[in-house]
Structure 1
Amino acid sequence: MPKLKLRPVAIDTYRENVAYLHRGCTFYRSEGFQALNKIEIHKEENGQPVIAVLNIVDDANITAPGELGISEQVFEQLNLPPGTAVTVKHATPPVSLDAVHDKINGEALSHEQYLKIAQDIVENRYSKIEIAAFLVGCAETGFERDEVLYLTRAMVETGDRLEWGESLVADKHCIGGIPGNRTTMLIVPIVAAHGMLMPKTSSRAITSPAGTADTMEVLARVDLLPDSLRSLVHRERGCLVWGGTARLAPVDDILIAVERPLSMDSPGQMVASILAKKVAAGSTRLLVDIPLGPTAKVRSRREALYLRKLFEYVGDRIGLELEVIITDGSQPIGRGIGPVLETRDVMQVLERKPNAPLDLREKALQLAGRILEFDPDVRGGEGYHIARDILDSGRALAKMDAIIEAQGKNPDPPLLGRLHHAISSPVSGIVSAIDNQQMASIARLAGAPLDKGAGVDLHRKTGEHVEAGEPLYTIYAAFPADYEFALDAARQNNGYSVKKTHE
């Protein structure tokens, strides 16, 4: 078998293994390779191969004949120096694709079938096209309750699990869809100050203006390795870190990378995704927040109740005690949308500033109180008052400062975007509604979360009076192109409904 020399190609293919062959390569011609074929890259004759999707190039500056170009992700997996000779073979189609075809045809799958699909996806045996087929099949035909359970277990079993050595490990998850809503950064220091273990591993935003990890990164490092994380958590009783440094349900990250651009978010897939991550992170008690509102992710009470029952059914069978609460998702929580602005809101609440957003404070206290009641020494109904005392006494701020120092304080925190423009109300009246989706879209167009100083700062919330010409919110951006995109979106639809009080 002829060998090809490895050539790293500086392309981030985002959770897909990609390799590149030059069209003039004699190996390419003789072996009958075509673009989008899957290939096996072998370091050793009988070793475990790395599987990649093949792309064909005509530019020798990318990959020359006799070379195999590899994307950044493949280069990390192979862990071989450039120029190393490797063998390349046609990849065997994954056997589990038969189960995908069954799912597309409307059949229910077994735990063994979901486990094999998950294993093949984690081993990069699926292309993104095949993953998309699986996701569409699941979304179109739906899941039986037990299928959600099987998929959850398969996601956990194909990754690593964190163990904390304690019987009560608390966690909290919001299903999303509400801009701002940075309650987790308040709940963790409150719960940790009480003494309960709450190691919070969070994701980065994919389609929202900020995730908890993006926002915490304004203050501290979030990319901690599991070993250093353990000692930190046992010392401080909590953390706020990015979960991507550990292989926690890794198949879920791959599915999300395909699912989100397709704007697909089936209930069964979402429940499996959330619960698999929580079990893998070592959680034993979980609070799930389902915001309900006309522009939230969940828009009907019927859908919210269905989700609650599904969470409870799967949680009970995987040994995860959970409580699901349905909260007000009618408008953004807090004033800031975007990492720097959301961090400001959090710190104002922790520092008990008079201008701190009351809705963010109140929701965080309500949720923290429910989590504190997981403690058998806390009686039902007492949690809120304990949470409020921890916050008002300054203990939560002290704990947050300790967590920041332990994770590694950011020596150069990002600043608010230098470009800014206020969007004013065209009429006088009472703000009757704020469109969550539109406000999130404007903040993302402004550059959030990649540009942490970009976003939207709300000056009015529902029920508040505004005069014509007064600002509803201010857009912040760092780059002129992002700034113009956001302004154009706001001019077309400012996201606010104002009920006129007079002509």
Structure 2
Amino acid sequence: MDLPALNIRRVGIDTWRENVAYLHRHCAVVRAAGFQALAKVTVRANGQQIQAVLNVVDDECIVKPGELGLSEDAFSRLAVVEGHAARIAPSEPPASLSALRRKIAGERLSREDLHAIVRDIAGARYSKIELAAFVVATNGQELERDEVLYLTEAMISVGRRLDWQQTVRGGPVVDKHCIGGIPGNRTSMLVVPIVAAHGMLCPKTSSRAITSPAGTADTMEVLAQVELPLERLQQIVRATNGCLAWGGTAELSPADDILISVERPLAIDSPGQMVASILSKKIAAGSTHLVLDIPVGPSAKVRAMPEAQRLRKLFEFVAGSLGLQLDVMITDGSQPIGRGIGPVLEARDVMAVLHNAPDAPADLRDKALRLAGRMIEFDPDVRGGEGWRIARDILDSGRALAQLQTIIDAQGRRAEPPTLGTLVHEVCAPQAGRVAAIDNLRLARIARLAGAPQVPGAGVDLLHKVGDAVAAGELLYRLHAQYPADLAFARELAQADSGYRLGAAP
């Protein structure tokens, strides 16, 4: 059927990594083709084509009968101007759906199956419903280790891949990653300048927060630009030995970014997907050596040591199969690291450590030095066990601070950094005792309700850690927010459960 052309209208709706098309219910195309809401359609214009999920609307303010509305993602991917003529037709389902159905039934998938699925995901040929089916199927039907390897390979193959070998001339390209779940754990902003000051290449591309109150990119953005074109990013790394930038603009593992958009609302972070996500981005970024931080604690992502050891073995198998040298550190995840939770507060803690301030958080400093020391020991000229001392000397001498300032200037220093939220609520101890435990998940949720990371100055400022003695009515932490509604939501959650457990310290 030769359906009439429609004029493209940019609807201006952020559908978060999903192509969505909008047609008016009385559009001639809808009546002629029998389109239904949530049908998959193909949109063609100016030699380009995309697949999209159809929404049918009744309001002409959104789209008129002779128009084809496109979400922000769809409009950007189609890459034509508003008003351009387009044609729409029913879409054939992705060929890889048969493999997905077999995974839902519990079958083991081959390398070819997973590469086909990831190609279709990266090409935006899966709807959010189909993506959710894949995420749930690979979570419930635990991926075998070979499947995790194939998934990692596939994620690398559909994105860009950086190569630093001409820069390092055969030397190591190092990186560090934490699997997450611990608020305030901003060690990357200390590790990168320490390692870069030692003379090693450390191109750190980081994600924004997914379920946490701040990611490394969110915190670095308090000080400098983090959304940088790939070519500029490469220039910065070659000039300064390092960077702390958002990885989204580099398109290093685009299929992973799409899967994360589904994993976030489902709160699913299966071991297989976690390994594929982390290692695909590190290898695509050109890293040859990686230090991996796996925090373990009762309210961390990994709750017990046996689980951490299983995850460690899976990481080591996939990394070894792909030629990435991996050093896994299993660390204490029993409570937040540092004092601040939220971008501005975490940036404050980082700068205090770099300035060797007397009141700088000791736990943040100590963990960063241990991680940086292990990374420095990837240097073939450094003997095993010497890395921590070298890292400490670089930090104590001020060289790490100077290196971060150089990286900040290269990325683009913020002329007016965001400030701490002016609305404050204090959470106090209900009785005297010792802090026996702090719930990472609860504190992270409270900080997010206060506005972090979307509001950089929002978050939680901790005054006590596990083992501290407190008096009745003594301040445990402050909530910072910029908007009254955010403060009210966070205050209500903190009043129901502060996240602190008082009693005998373990």
Normalized against structure 1, the TM-score is what? 0.98
Partner in structure 1 of residue 161 of structure 2: 161
CA distance in 1: counterparts of 2:201 and 2:124, whole angstroms: 35
1:260 CA drift (Å): 1.5
CA distance in 1: counterparts of 2:355 and 2:416, whole angstroms: 21
Partner in structure 1 of residue 96 of structure 2: 96
Aligned with 1:16 (options 15, 18, 32): 18
Contact 1:350 1:391 in 2 (8 A): yes
Partner in structure 1 of residue 209 of structure 2: 205
Q: Secondary structure at the match of 1:260?
A: helix
Q: Give the AA of the match of 1:454.
A: A
Partner in structure 1 of residue 344 of structure 2: 340
Structure 1 residues 420-429 or 338-347, which shifts more?
Answer: 420-429
Normalized against structure 2, the TM-score is what? 0.98
Q: Give the AA of the match of 1:23.
A: R
CA distance in 1: counterparts of 2:407 and 2:242, whole angstroms: 7
Q: Give the AA of the match of 1:73.
A: D
Q: Secondary structure at the match of 2:184?
A: coil
CA distance in 2: counterparts of 1:121 and 1:136, whole angstroms: 15
Partner in structure 1 of residue 150 of structure 2: 150
Contact 1:39 1:89 in 2 (8 A): yes
Unpaired runs of 5+ in structure 1?
none
User: For 1:318-348, what per-residue CA distance to the aligned partner results, in whole angstroms no more than 9, with x for missing partners?
Assistant: 1111011100000000000000000000000
Q: Secondary structure at the match of 2:113?
A: helix
Partner in structure 1 of residue 393 of structure 2: 389
Aligned with 2:188 (options 177, 184, 190): 184
Partner in structure 1 of residue 34 of structure 2: 32
CA distance in 2: counterparts of 1:74 and 1:101, whole angstroms: 26
CA distance in 1: counterparts of 2:289 and 2:431, whole angstroms: 48
Q: Give the AA of the match of 1:372.
A: I
Q: Give the AA of the match of 1:9.
A: V
Aligned with 1:364 (options 362, 365, 368): 368
The answer to whether 1:349 aligns with 2:353 is yes
Q: Secondary structure at the match of 2:352?
A: helix
Q: Give the AA of the match of 2:10.
A: P
Aligned with 1:317 (options 310, 316, 321): 321
Partner in structure 2 of residue 431 of structure 1: 435
Contact 1:271 1:310 in 2 (8 A): yes
Contact 1:432 1:499 in 2 (8 A): yes
1:259 CA drift (Å): 1.0
1:48 CA drift (Å): 4.4
User: For 1:357-378, what per-residue CA distance to the aligned partner results, in whole angstroms no more than 9, with x for missing partners?
Assistant: 0000000000000000000111
CA distance in 2: counterparts of 1:399 and 1:87, whole angstroms: 53
The answer to whether 1:57 aligns with 2:61 is no
Partner in structure 2 of residue 3 of structure 1: 5
CA distance in 1: counterparts of 2:385 and 2:125, whole angstroms: 51
Q: Secondary structure at the match of 1:278?
A: helix
- The alignment-based identity, stated in percent, is 62
Partner in structure 2 of residue 281 of structure 1: 285
Partner in structure 1 of residue 382 of structure 2: 378
Contact 1:172 1:184 in 2 (8 A): yes
Aligned CA-pair RMSD? 0.9
Contact 1:39 1:51 in 2 (8 A): yes
Aligned with 1:296 (options 300, 308, 312): 300
The answer to whether 1:140 aligns with 2:140 is yes
The answer to whether 1:222 aligns with 2:222 is no
CA distance in 2: counterparts of 1:78 and 1:15, whole angstroms: 13
CA distance in 2: counterparts of 1:107 and 1:227, whole angstroms: 42
1:123 CA drift (Å): 1.1
The answer to whether 1:109 aligns with 2:112 is no
The answer to whether 1:401 aligns with 2:425 is no
Contact 1:427 1:500 in 2 (8 A): no
Contact 1:3 1:86 in 2 (8 A): yes
CA distance in 2: counterparts of 1:9 and 1:49, whole angstroms: 18
Q: Give the AA of the match of 2:103.
A: K
CA distance in 2: counterparts of 1:394 and 1:372, whole angstroms: 17
User: For 1:76-101, what per-residue CA distance to the aligned partner results, in whole angstroms no more than 9, with x for missing partners?
Assistant: 11221111101111111011000001
Q: Secondary structure at the match of 2:6?
A: strand
Unpaired runs of 5+ in structure 2?
none
Aligned length: 499
Contact 1:428 1:500 in 2 (8 A): no
Q: Give the AA of the match of 1:83.
A: G
The answer to whether 1:86 aligns with 2:90 is no
1:428 CA drift (Å): 0.9
